Amino acid sequence: MRNDHLASGERPLPDRARRPAIGERELIWMMALLMACNAFGIDAILPALDELAGSLGAQGNDRQFVVGVYLLAAGFGTLIPGSFADRFGRRPVLFAALGAYIVLSLACAAATSFTQLIVLRALQGFFAAGIIALPPAIIRDRVGGDKMARMMSLIFVIFLLVPAVAPSIGQGVLLLLGDWRWIFVAMALLGVTMTVWVYVRLPETLHDDDRQEINISVIGRNMRRAVTLRSTIGYTLASALVFGGLFGFINSSQQLIGEAFGAGDMFPLLFAFCAGSMALANWSNSRIVERFGARRVSHSALFLFIVVSALQLWFATQPNESLWTFVPLMAANMSLLGFIGANFGSIAMQPFRHIAGAASSAQSFLRMTTGATLGAAVGYAYDGTARPLALALLVSAIMSLLFVLYSERGSLFGPPEPEVE
């Protein structure tokens, strides 16, 4: 990963950008940690769900709504920022999203009832959605093809370090300060840090000739194209389904590991192991994707995902499934997602350089809402076993393969993408 200015052959910054050019390494770290604000907002609270539920009177699986409603609202929220960013630029829309993240994190810390907290979490997810939708657009402003897949893979390596450590941070906050509310204060502090960094170092990446009108018909046309083009829609829906299974694991992970397998004290470590395997896979993907191509790598990983999911379902239907079969198989599937997610996303964004903001918003909307809905359904179907999760993973993987086949007109394992000038 280079620390110089972005390489020749990649799109230069707009002439009006007066800040010193940001190097590739810093850009990758910045985009990763912006997206990680969202991951931290989900995963840091997981170890505190029991205490939170007791404090605010939540019953049974209702505690999962703290995660599920945030994900679903963020999915709807991603429809908004891309179009504004295509008109006014990436920076002002990012600042608005970060401001909402900070203010609503502090509001969540002050919640006095479970219903109030759920409403605030929905608002936080919706208005902070720009931190999810805009990083892919910023990267697409600069590069495309398999080079974008490589950069997005490196972004996911760093991004996934946060969910790997966030539960441990949340548990540490509980141990040191004794109250789940301080976890939301920690979210606000992360938001402040990222706001300062973006303000000081990130130049505007939107080119003047790519600016779009704030016009309902123009926005609708751009978004419609981003989610109806046959060569990309299958990849958007496929990634939504496989990540829906992942969201199902996140929603029910504390109950699965803590209750079904009786390893609550080990939850942060085991969650970190699973998330860490996904980060390692993304790093590996970044090393091979430009050589073999995003299609070859991701299609191979999807077939392996189906095989591992079938094994998960088989073990889950056995009467005495153990933690030591569940965790390695879950980690294996999460690592395979590392070869799927960034590559599917990059393929889906490839045709949309001039409307990258609207395309990222529309595709993020489909991914997040579909994934969050499926994840919430899987999590709420928790019955004291891993069977609902395993079944969802297998079915979603098979359906994802069908969607990819649709986009590729039945032909898989295509060659690497050419460089985009």
- Extract the tokens encoding 287: 């090393």
The stretches of 320-355 forming alpha helices (DSSP H) are: 323-337, 341-349
Distance between CA atoms of 213 and 227, rounded to whole angstroms? 19
pLDDT at 19: 56
Note whether residue 241 is domain-resident.
yes
Say what the pLDDT of residue 10 is: 59
Q: What is the rounded distance in angstroms from the CA atom of residue 52 to the CA atom of residue 259?
A: 17
- Gap between the Cα atoms of 42 and 45, Å rounded: 6
Q: Is residue 82 part of a domain?
A: yes
**pLDDT value of position 185:** 94
Direct distance between the N- and C-terminal alpha carbons of the chain, in angstroms, rounded to an integer: 20
Within a domain: 163: yes
Q: By the 8 A CB rule, do 231 and 102 touch?
A: no
pTM given for the model: 0.70
- Which range marks the domain in which residue 62 is found? 24-407
In Å, how far are 231, 405, 414 from 410, measured between CA atoms? 11, 5, 11
Name residue 281's amino acid: A
For residue 369, give the amino acid letter: T
Q: Is 37 among the domain residues?
A: yes
Q: What is the CATH number of the domain that holds 285?
A: 1.20.1250.20
Residue 19 forms part of a structural domain: no
Cβ proximity of 109 and 185 under 8 Å: yes
Number of compact structural domains in the chain: 1
pLDDT at residue number 14: 60
- What is the reported pLDDT for 279? 80
Instruction: Decide if 8 is inside a domain.
Output: no
How many Cβ atoms sit within 10 Å of the Cβ of residue 310? 15
With respect to residue 283, please indicate whether it lies within any of the assigned structural domains: yes
In a domain, 420, yes or no: no
Q: pLDDT tens digits, the chain, 421 residues: what are they? A: 444 444 434 566 564 545 566 888 899 889 989 988 888 888 888 888 888 888 888 877 777 788 878 878 888 888 888 778 888 888 999 999 999 999 999 999 999 999 999 999 999 999 988 898 888 888 878 776 677 777 877 787 777 677 677 878 888 888 888 788 999 999 999 999 999 999 999 988 888 877 777 777 777 787 888 888 888 899 999 988 988 887 888 778 878 888 788 777 788 888 888 878 888 888 888 888 878 888 999 999 999 999 999 999 999 999 888 888 999 999 999 899 888 988 898 888 888 877 777 787 788 888 878 887 888 888 778 888 889 999 999 999 999 999 999 999 898 887 765 544 4
